Structure 1
Amino acid sequence: MPPLRIVYQDEYLVAVHKPSGLLVHRTALARGETEFLLQQLRDQLQRRVYPMHRLDRPTSGLIVFGLTPEVARALSESFTERQVEKRYLAVVRGMAPEQDRLDYPLREEDGSRPKAQMPPMPAMTDIRRLDSVELPVRVDRYPQARYSLVEARPLTGRRHQIRRHLSQRGYPVIGDAKHGKGNHNRFFAEQLKAPRLLLAATGLAFDHPVLAKRVMLSCALDDTMTQLFQHFGWAGHLPLDSVRTPPFEPPKVLSSASAI
């Protein structure tokens, strides 16, 4: 197993690229698995690490771990309170809208009880079409097949939120076995060498829980998605591994005099 790609690390936290198909940690829903991101990172760094958010198993991209329980707890609260900006890239079927806010309540999918018994929870995702391509092949009932590159910014954190929202809107993510379309998934797997969910977490921005700075991270795609972007002429949208840490600026409090 190749070493994990570290995008950012300081004495308090570490951000890495999670490969598609790798579980973050052990779960009762995937008994028999022996490879986990948490264990690999621990072995690579030779120290304990503490998860503070999650990525679905088939999703690749940025994930952050605390290097102490206290840091993990503090940053986990930032995720819970929606103080973390998240950016994803997805390849979807069809011509997605130039810009839209998907505001569809979602029921949880934690497997603890039937989904119909779970109450709908508010869920919002902002999407933007960055590019598109039309292929002269019949994959569905049309003589051509259209696909879009979509930027998704979830404003809430429901399970499978981006995948479910895009599917409900009519633009399922390619490679999504549960919410997508099998014929398009097979076409990408067999003809375009892309047999994975084409959804990647490419950006995170958050206030550092210890240091007085804003941490803005960007993460490059894996080889599968990179080659697909190049094939479709989308290379200009390829993100790079990068770190920006502008000084944190706390909200200004206006005095009664300055407010007049």
Structure 2
Amino acid sequence: MTPLTVLFEDGEALVIDKPGGLPLDQPRAGGRSLEDRLEELCFGFQRVPFPVHRLDQDTSGCLLLARNPKALKRFSAAFENRQVEKRYLGIVAGALQEESGTIALSLSKISSAEKGWRMIAAKKGKEAVTHWRKVAEIGGNTLVEFRPETGRTHQIRIHALAGLGAPLLGDPIYGDGKGAPRTMLHAAGLTVTREGKPPIEAVAPLPADFRALGFSDG
């Protein structure tokens, strides 16, 4: 089993480069999850670290873990109070006319017996804001940098579809699931400010499956 890559470490925090396809919690159908691997990340500490925020199973990249309950409480509050800078890279299935912009579409959760649950853009939903910038276009697909202000469930995935007019490549819920083995979204950068301490800063390199489609970190 490939060791988990640690991008940042100090006495109260770890940031790991979560592999795409690894769920945080034990799947109902069984199989490996990050939960099974937390002991690998103790590094001499008695407590196992605990994820502060969530990344979808398919999403790779920066995941912050707290190494004690007090740190977990403070970091959770930082996410809640928007004191965290998040930078994502996603491959959109299509070409974009504009170079950059801001998507402000409120989101609401719906569910049906046939399709399960998903998020939709809805005026009465919760506020969701994402800034985006086109990075490169190759083979009809576009690499986009996303900087979400809010942290709604599936925010970037539904904002790509409803705001940019094209879903993320490989997305089985908001797209057709084709073109890639997973939803092509990567948490490339994370910065968390801390009172009286230097900020937590981490950068996750572009994964191999992004590179296989011709894209690079530049």
Classify the TM-score, shorter chain: 0.7 to 0.9
Counterpart of 2:28 in structure 1 is: 31
CA RMSD across the alignment: 2.4
Tell me, what secondary structure is at the counterpart of 1:23? Answer: coil
Where has structure 1 moved over 3 Å in runs of 4 or more?
108-116
Instruction: Say whether 1:100 aligns with 2:101.
Output: yes
**Aligned partner letter, 2:83:** Q
Q: Pick closer, same or farther for the CA change 1:114–1:19 going to 2, 3 Å.
A: closer
Find the counterpart in structure 2 of residue 205 from structure 1. Answer: 191
From the superposition, tell whether residues 109 and 155 of structure 1 become closer, same or farther in structure 2 (CA, over 3 Å).
farther
Aligned to 1:191: none
What is the letter of the counterpart of residue 136 of structure 2? D
Structure 2 CA distance, aligned partners of 1:196 and 1:114?
17
Question: Hey, what does 2:126 align to over in structure 1?
Answer: 121
Change (3 A) 1:115 1:158: closer
Offset of 1:124 from its aligned partner? 0.6
Same amino acid, percent of matched pairs: 32
Task: Write out aligned runs for 1:57-136 (5 A).
Answer: 57-96=57-96, 97-108=98-109, 120-133=125-138, 135=139
8 A Cα contact 1:163 1:173, kept in partner = yes
State the match for 2:159 in structure 1: 165
String of CA shifts for 1:141-176, please: whole Å, max 9, x gaps: xxxxx2111000111111000000111121210010
- Cα distance in structure 1, aligned partners of 2:216 and 2:117: 43
Structure 1 Cα separation of the partners of residues 172 and 157 of structure 2: 10
The structure with more strand, counted as a fraction of residues: 2
Where in structure 2 are the equivalents of 1:181-260 lying within 5 Å?
A: 181-182=176-177, 185=178, 188=179, 194-208=180-194, 212-228=197-213, 232=214, 234-235=215-216, 237=218
Matched, 1:42 2:39: yes
Structure 2: stretches of 5+ with no match in the other structure: none
Tell me the distance in 2 between the aligned counterparts of 1:78 and 1:201.
18
For 1:95, give the aligned amino acid: A
State the TM-score, normalized to the length of structure 2.
Answer: 0.86
CA contact (8 A) 2:24 2:33 kept: yes
Give 1:35 shift. 1.5
Quick one: distance in 2 between partners of 1:19 and 1:92? 20
Tell me, yes or no, if the aligned pair for 1:123 and 1:155 is still in contact at 8 Å. yes
Q: Which amino acid aligns with 1:165?
A: H
Residue 172 of structure 1 aligns to a residue whose secondary structure is coil
- 1:127-166 equivalences in 2 (<5 Å): 127-133=132-138, 135=139, 146-166=140-160
Cα distance in structure 1, aligned partners of 2:118 and 2:65 = 31
What TM-score comes out, normalization by structure 1 length? Answer: 0.73
Distance verdict in 2 for CA 1:213–1:120, change over 3 Å: same
